[in-house]
Amino acid sequence: MDFIITTGKRKTAVARAVAKKGKGVVTINGYPVELYPVRVLRNKIMEPLLLAEDKAKELDIAVKVRGGGVTGQADASRTAIARALVKYLNDSDLENLFRQYDRTLIVNDVRIKLPKKAGGRGARAKKQKSYR
């Protein structure tokens, strides 16, 4: 098994993770995950790696993520990384641990923005009517 490719989605962001044997380096769009701009989101992305502990130290994971904003991209990356760990290591105990900790580590969050409707500026907003 040379490498594994997994995906993660959140809103309009889509992340693709490639896991292969290595030194434990995790990159997002070519940059180390330690340099991710928002600290809270950086910690969120690191969750699957911290839960997997020593098992993640022998894998290099390269994530490419497109679309959406920083939070959506972080959540998509997190799901892709967790799936890559489970699939590469073929570890059902790790998958159960991820599911108990937070289900969105393994399962994509299907919530998306409601599409705009006619007669207003957004999905729910409507033009006001005057009866007098």
pLDDT digits (tens, 9 = 90+) for 30-68: 999 999 889 999 999 999 999 988 888 889 999 999 999
CA distances to 5, 10, 82 from 113, in Å? 27, 11, 24
> Is 1 a residue whose pLDDT tops 70?
no
pTM of the model: 0.88
Tokens of 93: 């105990």
Residue in 127, 132, 75, 63 with CA at minimum distance from that of residue 104: 75
